[in-house]
């Protein structure tokens, strides 16, 4: 069933939606390899997305914070496929 909201969403590119979100947003593989970073990543680090893609997420997180981040990632599953939390970054 189509609604006005559905029609409106069809006009937006997913990247535009993610780029409009505040904060650093990334998508990564189970091993931590980054496959997407939003424009806030680029602005914060003053680097292009190409600098991050293919690199491990944990390279940009202080060592003492990695356990916290890994715990959050480990909590992801089919019933809970996304997470929102804050951690420090290097850079």
Instruction: Answer yes or no: is 75 within a domain.
Output: no
Weakest mean pLDDT among 16-20, 41-45, 74-78: 16-20
Instruction: Answer yes or no: is 51 within a domain.
Output: yes
Q: Judge whether residue 2 has pLDDT over 90.
A: no
Instruction: Answer yes or no: is 45 within a domain.
Output: yes
Domains in the chain, number: 1
pLDDT tens string 7-38: 655 677 888 888 888 888 888 998 999 999 99
Instruction: Answer yes or no: is 43 within a domain.
Output: yes
Phi and psi for 60 in degrees, rounded to 5? -105, 10
pLDDT number for residue 3:
54
Instruction: Answer yes or no: is 30 within a domain.
Output: yes
pTM of the predicted model, to two decimals? 0.74
Sign of torsion over alpha carbons 81, 86, 70, 68: negative
Q: Are 69 and 58 in contact (CB under 8 A)?
A: yes
Domain containing 30 equals: 4-57
């Amino acid at each position: 069933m189509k609604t006005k909201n559905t029609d409106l969403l069809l006009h937006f590119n997913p990247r535009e939606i993610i780029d409009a979100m505040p904060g650093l947003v990334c998508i990564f593989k189970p091993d931590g390899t980054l496959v997407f970073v939003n424009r806030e990543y680029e602005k914060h680090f003053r680097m292009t997305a190409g600098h991050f893609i293919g690199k491990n997420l944990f390279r940009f997180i202080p060592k003492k914070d990695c356990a916290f981040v890994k715990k959050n990632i480990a909590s992801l599953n089919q019933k809970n496929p996304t997470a929102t939390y804050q951690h420090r970054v290097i850079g």
